[in-house]
């Protein structure tokens, strides 16, 4: 798989392109603009960039005020600070009144591997998914990221997007078009469906190749929209193979695995979730080390496939 | 300065609003005290200060009113109903299932409400956002905010105070409803958020102290605030919680309590 740009970079570039065409787009940042890439907006449109400093709660509610006056504010910080520190502001001033605020959680999952647990977000999807009126996006690569940023501008209402800090393999075709809630079939298979999101889709594709040699056929599906999900499409995909594995760089509670399980609750399809097993992260010298430590590996997914096939 | 008859009109409106607050609550639990303490400020804003057309409550260049202490929304409902924005018989539906008169304001349900507030500490940030967006759009309306004195213990207020000063948001005018009581007792004993004047001045705001029940002082303070070219203004309004209903005045029990049927009758009589 060819390595593409980091989603945070693709996000920053796409937002700049859209800001050139749409005067209402503004960006707010909490002293992380060089990481979140809103430095591009600051450079080109300084009057539409707002440094809100290290005060996420005020930043989110200020963005809500801007939305009340017709702006399309993109609010930026690391995923863990944005969704954690400012959860109440997101609930009370964004989701509940349905203000047109776009929440951009950068350095999501373990992608800020060096900084440790304080900076790693393994619960952002759960937090945002629990809010009525909130759309929750998790792009797989730079192509999907760009498509989702376009969607965020076009859609009127609150959206959360989680953005990986690091380069990610290109999974989708250049002509991919994002449709809210729709699962994307990446590679077909007949024995088990692996629903993945973010970096875990490329890992699942490697698993598919490995298991093919053992005579197991895995279907790989990318879930870019964590909420809302197209229920019928998810059920159809799950029932086609009759077995499901979910893979995410997030706590097993409340993220993709939970969302799929809730969707498939009334079916008889068994599900084995792979994710962070309810532990906080820690620092590591490299990203792959963390994936091994937290069980987000090809081996773990292979085991999960075998486990689910045993009860199919 | 406003003419005497204009001041008297505002005072008359405030009296009607207070009566309507009592009529809304009846003998149910509700935020009587904090609504009564801001009534003269809210009446002055709607009937003497703001560019606000009840026939077109979403008019682009209207002045905005953000009630950060959302639990006192009864005073705002009373003003908006008096302006004819909603039918008066809605007074009877406060906090009923499906009513636009929610316990805390919901902009989606009630025209004239600018923001959903009530989770304390968010109003100043919302006002700053509106002010920043208005500046981009080259519009020059004002944003009036009422913040409770107890509410000032929410840290987000001070994040917002720094932001308004940094961005020189001179069109943000904040009233601090200094009734000196929070839900569980006197602020100075429970958790002292004072001194207000020195704090706002220190953070780079203009700040004035006034009698928050004196309509002329409220109007004059707004006039002063509008002279500012590069600073937001805090108007520290000394108020009486429960103002206008003798047994509720300065009584922390009426932060969120119900009147007995006898008290209800007495309150209506006092507000005649």
Distance from CA of B82 to the nearest CA of A (A): 25
**Structure-token pair, residue B151:** 């509410």
Is A40 within 8 Å of A81 (Cβ atoms)?
no
The enclosing domain of B41 has a CATH number of 3.40.50.970
Gyration radius of chain A's alpha carbons: 19
**How many CB atoms within 10 Å of residue B184?**
12
Distance from CA of A100 to the nearest CA of B (A): 13
State the Cα–Cα distance between residues B230 and B206, nearest whole angstrom: 10
State the Cα–Cα distance between residues A130 and A4, nearest whole angstrom: 31
Mean pLDDT by 10 residues, chain A (312 residues): 96 98 98 97 98 98 98 98 98 98 98 96 98 98 98 98 97 98 98 98 98 98 98 98 98 98 97 98 97 98 98 94
Q: Which of B49, B264, B249, B57 is nearest to B146 (CA)?
A: B49
State the Cα–Cα distance between residues A100 and A72, nearest whole angstrom: 6
Instruction: Inform me whether the C-beta atom of residue B155 falls under 8 Å from chain A C-beta atoms.
Output: yes
Q: What is the mean pLDDT of chain A?
A: 98
The answer to whether the Cβ–Cβ distance between B114 and A68 falls below 8 Å is yes
The answer to whether the Cβ–Cβ distance between A64 and B126 falls below 8 Å is yes
Distance from CA of A69 to the nearest CA of B (A): 6
What pLDDT is recorded for position B1? Answer: 77
Segment (H or E) for A72 = strand A72-78
Q: Choose the mutation target among B113, B129, B132, B137 for the interface with A, i.e. most A CBs under 10 Å.
A: B129
The answer to whether the Cβ–Cβ distance between B119 and A69 falls below 8 Å is no
**Contacts (Cβ under 8 Å, ≥6 apart) of A103:** A60, A75, A82, A83, A90, A94, A128, A158, A159, A160, A161
pLDDT, tens only, A144-163: 999 999 999 999 999 999 99
**How many CB atoms within 10 Å of residue B62?**
17
The answer to whether the Cβ–Cβ distance between A55 and B119 falls below 8 Å is no
Which residues on chain A are in Cβ contact (under 8 Å) with B133?
Answer: 26, 65-66, 68-71
Beta strand spans in chain B (E)? 64-67, 143-148, 172-178, 181-182, 185-186, 206-211, 233-238
Say yes or no to pLDDT of B237 above 90.
yes
Give percent above pLDDT 70 in chain A. 100
Instruction: Inform me whether the C-beta atom of residue B163 falls under 8 Å from chain A C-beta atoms.
Output: yes
What pLDDT is recorded for position B2? Answer: 87
pLDDT, tens only, A200-236: 999 999 999 999 999 999 999 999 999 999 999 999 9
The answer to whether the Cβ–Cβ distance between B131 and A65 falls below 8 Å is yes
**Count of positions (residues) in chain A:** 312
Q: How many CA atoms within 13 Å lie on the side-chain side of A195?
A: 34
State the Cα–Cα distance between residues A241 and A25, nearest whole angstrom: 43
Instruction: Inform me whether the C-beta atom of residue B248 falls under 8 Å from chain A C-beta atoms.
Output: no
Residues 99-118 of chain B with CB under 8 A from chain A are: 106-108, 114-118
First-to-final CA distance of chain B = 28
State the Cα–Cα distance between residues A300 and A229, nearest whole angstrom: 26
φ/ψ bin of A26: left (φ > 0), alpha (ψ from -120 to 50), beta (otherwise): beta
Say yes or no to pLDDT of B59 above 90.
yes
Distance from CA of B243 to the nearest CA of A (A): 29
User: Strands of B143-148's sheet, edge to edge?
Assistant: B64-67, B143-148, B172-178, B233-238, B206-211
Shortest CB distance from B122 goes to which of A26, A53, A93? Answer: A93
Shortest CB distance from B156 goes to which of A26, A57, A73? Answer: A57
State the Cα–Cα distance between residues A165 and A7, nearest whole angstrom: 7
State the Cα–Cα distance between residues A139 and A148, nearest whole angstrom: 7
DSSP helix, strand, coil percent of chain A (3-state; round to 5): 40, 20, 40
What domain range is B146 assigned to?
4-270
The answer to whether the Cβ–Cβ distance between B133 and A65 falls below 8 Å is yes
Is A69 within 8 Å of B137 (Cβ atoms)?
yes
Shortest CB distance from A97 goes to which of B108, B131, B134? Answer: B108
Give me the total of CB pairs closer than 8 Å, taking one residue from chain A and one from chain B: 96
Choosing from A14, A56, A144, A249, the catalytic residue is: A56
Is B248 within 8 Å of B74 (Cβ atoms)?
no
Q: Determine whether A266 is exposed, middle or buried from the number of CB atoms within 10 Å of its CB (0-12, 13-18, 19+).
A: exposed
State the Cα–Cα distance between residues B152 and B83, nearest whole angstrom: 30
pLDDT band at B86 (very low <50, low <70, confident <90, very high): confident
The answer to whether the Cβ–Cβ distance between A69 and B155 falls below 8 Å is no
Domains observed in chain A: 7-162 (3.40.50.970), 184-311 (3.40.50.920)
User: B60 — phi, psi (to 5°)?
Assistant: -55, -45
Shortest CB distance from A92 goes to which of B119, B128, B132? Answer: B119
Say yes or no to pLDDT of B202 above 90.
yes
pLDDT band at B145 (very low <50, low <70, confident <90, very high): very high
Nearest chain B residue to A93, by CA? B116
How does strand A225-227 pair with strand A218-222?
unpaired
**Structure-token pair, residue B3:** 């003419």
Nearest chain B residue to A97, by CA? B116
Please tell me what DSSP assigns to residue B11: H
Helix axes A56-68, B155-166, angle to 10 degrees: 60
The answer to whether the Cβ–Cβ distance between A65 and B134 falls below 8 Å is no
Q: How many domains does chain B have?
A: 1
Q: Which of B232, B248, B228 is nearest to B240 (CA)?
A: B248
Which residues on chain B are in Cβ contact (under 8 Å) with A73?
Answer: 129
Alpha helix (H) residue ranges in B123-214: 123-136, 155-166, 187-190, 196-202
Q: Choose the mutation target among A61, A86, A87, A88 for the interface with B, i.e. most B CBs under 10 Å.
A: A61
pLDDT, tens only, A23-45: 999 999 999 999 999 999 999 99
Q: Can A13 be counted among the known catalytic residues? A: no
The answer to whether the Cβ–Cβ distance between A98 and B130 falls below 8 Å is no
**Structure-token pair, residue B136:** 């981009």
Shortest CB distance from B126 goes to which of A52, A73, A93? Answer: A93
Residue reference for tokens 């939970």: A258
Say yes or no to pLDDT of B272 above 90.
no
């Amino acid at each position: 798989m060819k390595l593409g740009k980091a989603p945070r970079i693709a996000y920053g570039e796409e937002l700049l392109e859209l800001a050139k065409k749409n005067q209402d787009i503004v960006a707010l940042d909490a002293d992380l603009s060089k990481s979140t890439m809103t430095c591009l907006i600051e450079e080109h449109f300084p009057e539409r960039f707002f440094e809100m400093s290290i005060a996420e709660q005020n930043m989110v509610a200020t963005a809500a005020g801007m939305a009340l006056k017709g702006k399309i504010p993109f609010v930026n910080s690391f995923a863990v600070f944005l969704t954690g520190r400012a959860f109440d502001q997101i609930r009370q001033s964004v989701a509940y009144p349905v203000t047109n605020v776009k929440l951009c959680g950068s350095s999501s999952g373990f992608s800020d591997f060096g900084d440790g647990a304080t900076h790693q977000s393994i619960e952002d999807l759960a937090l945002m998914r629990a809010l009525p009126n909130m759309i929750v996006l998790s792009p797989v690569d730079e192509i999907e990221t760009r498509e989702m940023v376009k969607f965020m501008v076009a859609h009127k209402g609150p959206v959360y997007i989680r953005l990986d800090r690091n380069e990610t393999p290109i999974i989708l075709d250049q002509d991919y078009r994002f449709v809210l809630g729709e699962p994307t079939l990446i590679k077909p298979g007949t024995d088990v469906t692996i629903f993945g999101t973010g970096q875990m889709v490329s890992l699942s594709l490697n698993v598919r190749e490995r298991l093919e040699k053992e005579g197991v056929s895995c279907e790989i599906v990318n879930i870019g929209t964590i909420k809302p999900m197209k229920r019928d499409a998810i059920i159809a995909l799950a029932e086609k193979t009759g077995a499901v594995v979910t893979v995410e760089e997030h706590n097993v509670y409340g993220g993709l695995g939970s969302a799929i399980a809730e969707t498939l609750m009334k079916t008889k399809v068994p599900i084995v979730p792979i994710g962070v097993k309810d532990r906080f992260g820690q620092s590591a010298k490299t990203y792959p080390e963390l994936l091994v430590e937290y069980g987000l590996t090809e081996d773990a997914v292979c085991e999960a496939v075998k486990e689910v096939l045993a009860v199919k | 300065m406003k003419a005497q008859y204009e001041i008297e009109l505002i005072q008359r409106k405030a009296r009607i609003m207070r009566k309507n607050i009592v009529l809304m609550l009846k003998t149910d639990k509700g935020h009587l005290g904090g609504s009564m303490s801001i009534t003269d400020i809210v009446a002055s804003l709607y009937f003497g200060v703001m560019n606000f057309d009840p026939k077109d409550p979403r008019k682009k260049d209207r002045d905005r009113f953000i009630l950060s202490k959302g639990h006192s929304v009864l005073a705002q409902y009373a003003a908006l109903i008096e302006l004819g924005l909603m039918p008066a018989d809605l007074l009877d539906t406060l906090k009923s299932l499906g009513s636009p008169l929610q316990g805390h304001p919901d902009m989606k349900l009630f025209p004239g409400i600018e923001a959903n507030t009530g989770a304390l500490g968010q109003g100043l940030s919302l006002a700053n956002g509106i002010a920043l967006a208005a500046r981009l759009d080259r519009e020059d309306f004002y944003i009036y905010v009422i913040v409770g004195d107890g509410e000032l213990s929410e840290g987000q207020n001070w994040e917002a105070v720094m932001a308004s000063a940094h961005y020189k948001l001179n069109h943000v005018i904040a009233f601090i409803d200094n009734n000196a009581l929070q839900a569980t007792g006197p602020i100075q004993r429970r958790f002292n958020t004072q001194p207000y004047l020195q704090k706002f001045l220190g953070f780079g705001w203009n700040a004035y102290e006034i009698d928050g029940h004196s309509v002329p002082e409220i109007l004059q303070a707004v006039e002063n605030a509008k002279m500012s070219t590069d600073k937001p203004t805090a108007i520290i309004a000394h108020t009486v919680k429960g103002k206008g209903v003798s047994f509720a005045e300065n009584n922390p029990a009426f932060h969120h309590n119900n009147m007995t049927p006898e008290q209800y009758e007495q309150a209506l009589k006092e507000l005649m």
